[in-house]
Chain A
């Protein structure tokens, strides 16, 4: 075990969250080191023709997803059942490598509905205090849509989202989603071209009196330059989005828009092949002091002290790290 020199911020995981956090921190001149257990995919077969189009490799065999032989989840459907390991995942696919699951995301980009963050109070005001059963843990989030709107806006501009607005400043817009929360302006880019199936659906939906609208998508309808000066290519409609890396750089991902920029910034360091095992925790001070990780290239273990430790390795991995580090109280489903 080697103990390394103290850093200001260490981020566990190199996906979308880590990329966005790093963008904000390094912009303020804050020193960030990022630990990612996978590799940089941007020059691999997964990001290049012709192998990028290999559905067997990337889709069926989940070439970009977490390796279940190393770390998986256990599953039970009730507290009376014995949980069993999930041996192969299909329901959702955490990613591995710089860019994380956002490398192989499909690109659908919805804002929260205006009522999502205040659902409990909304139901209570409409149906009464007793409408929500006592064991239903639905909560208000402590933040409103209005407060989040600037960040939705920023993200959509950064990621060049293609779509059509349905509600600009509470004024409904023809052809957009009439139920969406009010937005300050139009989407960053025009919508993608509809497919034949989309046109058929649109015609039928209109005839039935519905209001079909194009799905807001991070699949770039045109060439695009974002506020950071980072660029996206134009979508080539090949259909290899979810479970694939877009070789045309037309799908907005941290690997295209964030990490190449961050790696040019002073005070930002990425350590790949670095698998974090646990967080060093000072229980008396109630303070996380360092992360313990293994360099997968050499097997060497390191302790990286930091002032701030960010867990950005996906909810399940974050929770596992907290549990293995003895931080917090494990969830017990039999307690209220």
Chain B
């Protein structure tokens, strides 16, 4: 992995860098540079994208706009910071996972009842908006960014990690309000489940890169036979968990 700290030709990154200097803290998106060591899928990287995660860069976004991608990357990096357990959320493939789900059948509302009547009931009636999950994700993201601008004077991806963390906690507890959308429900019922799936779904979907979350929790993945293991390793660490197997390993 070559050094990617030089990104003067990327205006947004440059701006973020200046913000970081001005506030004495490092903006979230800057953290994307980190965790390069896991970027096994990195392909050719052009100069304009020099600071992008090798994972996001090699894959590219199919649903998210640049602004939406910046939001999503910033969010997954706050929710999954690079530390001793995992690389950053982006480097774990979490933003790519979310993008792929939004672009695919989930995002288009597969198997969901998406016809009227459109009446907003009680929370116990569940989701009742006339939006596909992809549309809902983007509508909520726009409102959340507006709320961030109002509250912090900056869009979400330009907050410091501490600011962004506090903002997400407020968002998840319903303290970030919008005139039309219930942003707490948006985060807790759409975004958080996507994040969780991005971490723990099979890596074939783009998240859980290198099975990093499976290794972190000791999940062995797909061995077909555990009858003997079940008895032999009861109450003991299972050696197979050190090297989990995914769908791709059996395909």
Contact = CB atoms under 8 A, between A and B. Distances in A.
Q: Do A and B come from one complex?
A: yes
Interface of A: 49-51, 53-56, 60-62, 65, 67-69, 72, 75, 77, 81-82, 84-88, 193, 195-196, 199, 234-238, 247-248
Contacts of B127: 87-88
A236 B126 contact: no
B227 A50 contact: no
A82 B128 CA distance: 13
Interface string B64-75: 000000000000
Given A55-B200, A69-B109, A69-B110, 16 more contacts: A50-B250, A53-B202, A54-B247, A56-B201, A61-B106, A61-B110, A69-B113, A75-B125, A82-B121, A88-B127, A196-B234, A234-B227, A236-B224, A236-B226, A238-B224, A248-B224
B224 A84 contact: no
A193 B193 CA distance: 32
A235 B226 CA distance: 8
Contacts of B112: 68-69, 87-88
Contact of A49 (B111, B124, B229, B250): B250
Contacts of A86: 113, 125-126
8 contacts: A53-B221, A54-B202, A55-B201, A68-B112, A85-B113, A85-B115, A199-B234, A236-B225
The dominant DSSP class at the A interface is loop
A245 B71 CA distance: 38
A84 B231 contact: no
B126 A87 contact: yes
Interface of B: 106, 109-115, 117, 119, 121-122, 124-128, 193, 197, 200-202, 205, 221-227, 229-231, 234-235, 246-247, 249-251
For the complex of A and B, 9 pairs with smallest distance between CB atoms: A50-B250, A237-B230, A56-B201, A72-B113, A237-B226, A196-B235, A50-B247, A87-B113, A53-B222
Contacts of A193: 227, 230-231, 234
The dominant DSSP class at the B interface is loop
A69 B227 contact: no
A68 B113 contact: yes
B111 A68 contact: yes
Contacts of B106: 61
A87 B247 contact: no
A109 B197 CA distance: 31
Contact of A56 (B109, B125, B205, B227): B205
A87 B223 CA distance: 35
Contacts of B226: 236-238
A246 to B, nearest CB: 11
A236 B109 CA distance: 34
Contacts of A50: 222, 246-247, 249-251
Nearest to B222: A53
A87 B128 contact: yes
A82 B122 CA distance: 11
Given A50-B250, A87-B127, A69 B121 contact: no
Nearest to B247: A50
Contacts of B126: 75, 86-88
Nearest to B233: A196
A195 B229 CA distance: 11
A61 B113 CA distance: 14
Contacts of A68: 111-113
B96 to A, nearest CB: 14
Contacts of A85: 113, 115, 117
Nearest to B204: A54
B7 to A, nearest CB: 34
Nearest to A88: B112
A202 to B, nearest CB: 12
Contacts of B122: 77
